[in-house]
Amino acid sequence: MDILSHALWGGVAFGRAKKRDFWAAFTLGAAPDLLAFTVPSAARLVSYMSGNGLTEGFRHNMADFPQYVFTLYSIGHSLVIFTAVFVGVWLLRKKPYIPLLAWGFHVFLDIFTHSIDFFPTPFLWPFSDYRFNGLSWGHPIIFIPNVLLLALAYGLWAWSRRKDKVMRFEGD
Ligand SMILES: [Zn+2]
């Protein structure tokens, strides 16, 4: 899935309790991709601004990415790492940190929305290299329903919040 959809899904699915939780879930929803792509994107921008032009272009080939991107991508897109962190945080706080589930949900969505050709999801890393051959999120069959479902989820949330407010008001 694209990074903005991940952030929006994280927020609406696991950040509805309070405002701070929303932004935490929004950020954690985007985190696996931020972790892997912030540095190479910044490097490309610096190279562009230092007058090298866009000779590098946009990278559509996996082979064009430096090795550390794959390592960071594997760490962020592993359900093994996610589960270990989620349980670790749970033990430390003595209660689960719900916005963190946005990270796990990111990985879950990516498993099915990346084809084997472009960053398939290494969700069993480091134990297994198995990757599912899904359908790319850029495909209209995925992308259009995704936008519609996001709009529906946020619409329902806004509607239920309004209803809550009205009910509280009437209860006074
Ligand atoms: Zn991702």
User: How many domains does one find in the chain?
Assistant: 1
Summarize the confidence of residues 57-72 as an average pLDDT: 79
Q: Poorest-confidence range of 5-19, 46-60, 72-86?
A: 46-60
> Residue 148: inside a domain, yes or no?
no
> Residue 37: inside a domain, yes or no?
yes
**62 C-alpha vs ligand 1 centroid, how far in Å?**
14
For the chain, report the end-to-end CA distance as a whole number of angstroms.
44
Question: What would you measure as the largest C-alpha separation in the chain, in angstroms?
Answer: 65
**81 C-alpha vs ligand 1 centroid, how far in Å?**
14
Can you give the pTM of this predicted structure? 0.88
> Residue 33: inside a domain, yes or no?
yes
> Residue 167: inside a domain, yes or no?
no
Look at residue 60 and tell me whether its pLDDT is greater than 90. Answer: no
> Residue 56: inside a domain, yes or no?
yes
> Residue 165: inside a domain, yes or no?
no
What pLDDT is recorded for position 2?
A: 93
What pLDDT is recorded for position 54?
A: 55
126-158 pLDDT tens trace: 999 999 999 999 899 999 999 999 999 999 999
* Domain enclosing residue 96, as ranges: 3-138
Q: How far apart are CA 122 and CA 87, in angstroms?
A: 20
> Residue 102: inside a domain, yes or no?
yes
> Residue 35: inside a domain, yes or no?
yes
**91 C-alpha vs ligand 1 centroid, how far in Å?**
26
**107 C-alpha vs ligand 1 centroid, how far in Å?**
6
**18 C-alpha vs ligand 1 centroid, how far in Å?**
25
71-126 pLDDT tens trace: 999 999 999 999 999 999 999 999 999 999 999 999 999 999 999 999 999 999 99
Neighbours of 69 (CB within 10 A): 18
Q: Which of 108, 130, 93 is nearest to 13 (CA)?
A: 108
**17 C-alpha vs ligand 1 centroid, how far in Å?**
25
